[in-house]
Amino acid sequence: MLETHKALLEKKGKYLVLLRPQNCHRYADCWDLPGGKTEENENPRETLGREIREEIGLPVELGEVIYKFEIESDCVKNATVKFFLHRAKLLDAHTEIKLSAEHITYAWLTLEEIGQLAKREIVLDNYVRSLNK
């Protein structure tokens, strides 16, 4: 089983989403939350801290897990992926985000706006449904 940890970063009532490029081998041209999969011998906090630094170049304060779910992945043969959504807070809300090559742009969106994107993206849809409970 693979584990993926994502961060719900909120700023002034909006949440950070990142867009993957079209040539990405997993979830190409999809909007996603910052975060990624756990590497060997890495705990969830280490995973999320590393992934966020890599993806947006900013330090964050990690909070509790607020939602988790599992899906059968069509990207990884015969694998179940367990997703965890964590609250997180930017330590410096005034510093500009510096995207890695893993994403082509970002946006700060309301939950309603994210919900519109989520209609075509299963992973984002699962997160949005959890936030609207």
Is 33 in contact with 85 (CB distance < 8 Å)?
A: yes
Residue 18 in this model has a pLDDT that exceeds 90: yes
User: Count of domains in the chain?
Assistant: 1
Average pLDDT over residues 79-87: 87
Contacts of residue 14, Cβ cutoff 8 Å, sequence gap at least 6: 108, 109, 110
Span 104-118, mean pLDDT?
86
- CATH of residue 68's domain is 3.90.79.10
Quick one: average pLDDT of 79-95? Answer: 85
Q: Which domain holds residue 60?
A: 2-131
The per-residue pLDDT for 133 is 57
Model confidence pLDDT, tens digit, residues 32-66: 899 988 998 999 889 998 999 999 998 888 889 98
Mean pLDDT for the chain overall: 83
pLDDT at 130 over 90: no
Task: Report the percentage of the chain scoring pLDDT > 90.
Answer: 31
**Mean of pLDDT values over 77-100:** 84
Read out DSSP for 12-44?
A: TTEEEEEE--TT-SSSTT-EE-SEEEPPTT--H
Alpha carbons 90 and 5: distance in angstroms, whole number: 16
